[in-house]
Amino acid sequence: MNRLIRIIFLLFLSIFLSGSWNVDIVGSYSYFYELKIGDGRNDGVSRVYASTYSGYLTEWTYEDGEWTMIDCGHTTGGDTRIISLWLGAGRNDGLNRLYACSANGKVYEFSFTGGEWEQDTLLPSGEHFAGITVGNSRNDDVNRIIAGGWYNPCFEYSYESDEWVRIDVSSLDQYIWPMEIGQGRNDGIERIYCPDWINNRMIEYTWNGSSYDEEFIGAPSRMVKTIVGTGRNDEIIRVYSAGMFGHIQEFTYENGDWTCSDIQPSAPYLSRYGLCFGHPNPDGQLRLYSVAQGGAFREHAWNGSEWEDIQIDLVTGATASLTVGNGRNDGRERVYVAGSNGHLYEYTCLDTVNLAVVSGVVFSDNPEADLTQAVIEAGDFSTNANENGEYSLSLFEGSYTITATLTGYTNQAEFVELEPLEQITVDFYLEYLIPPTNLAFVEIGGNQVILYWLFDNQNDPDFMHFNVYRKVITSYWNEIMQTTENQAIVNIAPGYENRFYVAAEYVDGISDSSNVVVVYPTSIDNDVLGKPLIHISNYPNPFNPSTMILFSILGESKVEVTIYNTKGQRVKMFTNERYEKGNYSVTWNGTDDSGKPVSSGIYLARLKAGNQEISHKILLLK
C-alpha cells in the first residue's frame, strides 16, 4: 500500500513540476507530413527524418552545435506526397531502413549503403496510401510492413527469398490513417490497430495462422492517428487514437471487453500525425503529446486519477506532425514538431529546480515596434518578449551570450556568467533600421529586369549594402545578390511569376523588406521593336542639396538628360551624346546651366533616347 501511495504521489507531483520549455527552429524546408527519429544509417547516431508534401524524404543531423539537412530520396509518378513514414528492420537482417508510403499508391524503402542513400519500390503497389508501420504482426519474430490507405484494403509486405510478397490484411476498402502494431490486449500477442476514418471505427487485426481476423473494438469519430503503449505509466498497454475533431480516445481491454474513454479534449482539428508518447520531461514519466492543425502543442499526463491537459505552446503556422526522441544524441529526449509552414521545431523541457533566470525588457526607438516578435536567445535556448517587451529566460549554470533580435532593428548582445538559482536583469535597446522603399522595375528583355528603389539612409556609416531577394511561384525567398547601388539588373524565370523585395543590411542587423514587386515576363524582343527601352528615376526625392538621377537604356542610342521647370524652360542639361546599353547616373546639385542655385519647387528630369522620351518629377526643398 505504501508503494502504491508513493507512486501516486510522484505521478501527481510530476504533473505540477512539468517544467518550462525552450523552442528552437531546427531548419526549414517544405510542407512536412510525418516525422521519425532513429538510427537510419545503422551507425549508432540518431537523426530526425521528415517526409514532405513535395515527395522528398529529408534527414536532419545535429553535429558540432548545428543542424544539417540532406535529401534521402524522392518519390516518382503522379501525386508524390510522402504521406506516412516508419523506421525499422523490414528485411529482418538487423539493419534499419526507412519505409514510406505515398499518395500515388507506392511503398518505398530507403537504405543507407556505401555512404549514400538508395531507394527501392515495394511491388505490387496500392491506390492511395496514408499509413505505414513495421513490426512482428504474425508473432513469429519476423518483421513485416503493414500499409493502408484511402479506399484500399490494408496490405502486408514480407521480404522473402530476395523479393517482396504482398497479401491483403483486410478484404474491405477502408479509409486508413497511420496505424501501429502492439500488444493492445496485454496478452503477449502483437496485433495491428488501424483507424478507419471514413467509417468511424477502430479495427484490430490478429493473425490466426493463415490470415488476419478482423474485429471492431470501438467507434471513435474521425480518427487520424493511432499509437499503442503504457500511457498511464502503470505497465498496462492501451491503444490511443487522435481525432480530427479535437479529441483523443483511450481504448482499454479488460475482462474480455474493450472500453473507450475520452482523454481531456485537446485543441480542435488534431493533425493527422499529431500524437505520440515520450519522456522529454526531466521527471522521466511517459506522457502523451499532441499537435493541432491550428498550432496548439499540448501535453497530456495521467495524474493517478484523471488526465490533465497542458498547452505547451501555440506553434507559428499550422502543424502537421510531431515525434519524441534523442535527436541530438546527448541522451535527452526532445519533442520535434513539423509545421506546414516549412519549419521544423525542437522543444526541450527544462528542469526548473536549479535554473538561473535572466529577465529584462526589450526597448525600441520606434513606438510602433511589435515587440512580441523580438527573440531573445542564449545558446540553444530562446524566448519571445511580450507586448510590453518583457521577457524571462531560464538557463542552466554556465556562460552565455544573450542576444536580442527583431527583424528590421539592430541586434544587441550581452555576455553573462550564471550560477544556479541566480537571477539577473539584462535590458536591450533596439534601434529601427531604415529600409528601402518604393521598389519598382522595368523590363529590359532577355529575361531580365531592372529593379530600382529609394533609400533615405545612404550616408549612415553603419549601412553596408542592399540584399535582393527573389521567389518564383510558391518557392521560398532566396537572396540572389548584394549591391551598394539603388538599382540592380536581375534575372527572371521565364513563364513564371517572379517576386522581388530588397532589404538594407547594416553592421548590426538587416532592415525590414521593401514592398514586394511581381514580375510577369512579357518576353519583349527589342530588335523587333526597333527602339530601346528607357527608364529614369532619382534618389533621394525630395532632395536637398543634391540628388542622383538614375537612367537606363537597352540599346545603343543618342541620349539627352535635361532638367526643366514646370513652365517647360530648360534649367540644366547633363548630357547629349551616344551611350551603349546599360545603367548610368548623373548628380544634380540644384543649380542651372550657369551654376546658379535654383529655387525650391517641382522640376522635371527628361530622358530622351532615340525616338523615345520620358519624364520624371523631382522635388527640391530648401
The CATH number of residue 140's host domain is 2.130.10.10
Q: Examine the domain organization and report whether 271 and 161 are in the same domain.
A: yes
- Domain with 551, as residue range(s), is 437-620
Q: Examine the domain organization and report whether 216 and 282 are in the same domain.
A: yes
Q: Examine the domain organization and report whether 464 and 376 are in the same domain.
A: no
Number of domains in the chain: 3
Q: Examine the domain organization and report whether 328 and 466 are in the same domain.
A: no
- pLDDT, position 516: 93
Among 316, 333, 350, the domain-final residue is 350
The mean per-residue pLDDT over the stretch 169-184 comes to 80
Q: Examine the domain organization and report whether 324 and 360 are in the same domain.
A: no
- pLDDT, position 555: 75
Among 372, 404, 430, the domain-final residue is 430
- Band (pLDDT 50/70/90 cuts) for residue 530 is very low
The answer on pLDDT for 11 being more than 60 is no
Is residue 416 packed enough to be buried (19+ CB in 10 Å), middle (13-18) or exposed (0-12)?
middle
Q: Examine the domain organization and report whether 421 and 444 are in the same domain.
A: no
Q: Examine the domain organization and report whether 460 and 365 are in the same domain.
A: no
The CATH number of residue 514's host domain is 2.60.40.10
Q: Examine the domain organization and report whether 59 and 85 are in the same domain.
A: yes
pTM given for the model = 0.59
Task: Decide the pairing of beta strands 356-364 and 390-395.
Answer: antiparallel
The answer on pLDDT for 573 being more than 70 is yes
The answer on pLDDT for 572 being more than 70 is yes
Of residues 27 and 170, more confidence is placed in: 27
- Band (pLDDT 50/70/90 cuts) for residue 3 is very low
Residue 584: Cβ within 10 Å count: 17
Q: pLDDT tens, 148-157?
A: 877 777 899 9
Q: pLDDT tens, 483-492?
A: 998 888 898 8
The answer on pLDDT for 248 being more than 70 is yes
The mean per-residue pLDDT over the stretch 48-52 comes to 93
The amino acid at residue 430 is: L
Q: Examine the domain organization and report whether 383 and 336 are in the same domain.
A: no
The answer on pLDDT for 19 being more than 60 is no
Q: Examine the domain organization and report whether 318 and 383 are in the same domain.
A: no
With DSSP H G I counted as helix, E B as strand and the rest as coil, what are the percentages for the chain, rounded to 5?
5, 55, 40
The answer on pLDDT for 110 being more than 60 is yes
Among 430, 451, 485, the domain-final residue is 430
Q: Examine the domain organization and report whether 370 and 252 are in the same domain.
A: no
The answer on pLDDT for 359 being more than 50 is yes
- pLDDT, position 207: 97
Q: Examine the domain organization and report whether 267 and 390 are in the same domain.
A: no
Q: pLDDT tens, 270-307?
A: 777 789 999 898 777 899 999 887 788 889 999 889 99
Average pLDDT in the chain: 85
SS3 (DSSP) at 598: coil
- Band (pLDDT 50/70/90 cuts) for residue 6 is very low
| DSSP β-bridge partners for residue 450 | 442, 489
Host H or E run for residue 443: strand 437-445
